[in-house]
Amino acid sequence: MFIIVIDLTKFYMATRTFHISLPLELAKEIEKEIKEGYYTPSEYFKYLYRLAREEKLLADIQESEDDYKHGRVIEAESLKDL
């Protein structure tokens, strides 16, 4: 007899559940989006979060480019200088 043990913890991320309340009209719009996109509610909100995070990152990059263009930079030889 062979016994095989597989550690599945490497394949699953720890999760946390959130419960949110939405106005009825907004909930209906979201339900429509979920059905049209073949999402689960969880996948839909994860997608929206990733999209928001990406937009923030792009805004931060644009702000940094603007700072560099206008001379608002700190010159340093190493991180210790900052």
Residue 51, in any domain of the structure: yes
Looking at the structure of the chain, the number of domains it has is: 1
Task: Express each pLDDT in 54-67 by its tens digit.
Answer: 999 999 999 999 98
SS (H, E, C) the chain: CCCCCCCHHHCCCCCCCCCCCCCHHHHHHHHHHHHHHCCCHHHHHHHHHHHHHHHHHHHHHHHHHHHHHCCCCCCCCCHHHC
Residue 82, in any domain of the structure: no
pLDDT at 76: 79
Residue 10, in any domain of the structure: no
Can you give the residue range of the structural domain that contains 50?
Answer: 24-70
Task: Express each pLDDT in 3-30 by its tens digit.
Answer: 555 566 666 677 888 888 889 999 999 9
pTM of the model as a whole: 0.64
Residue 5, in any domain of the structure: no
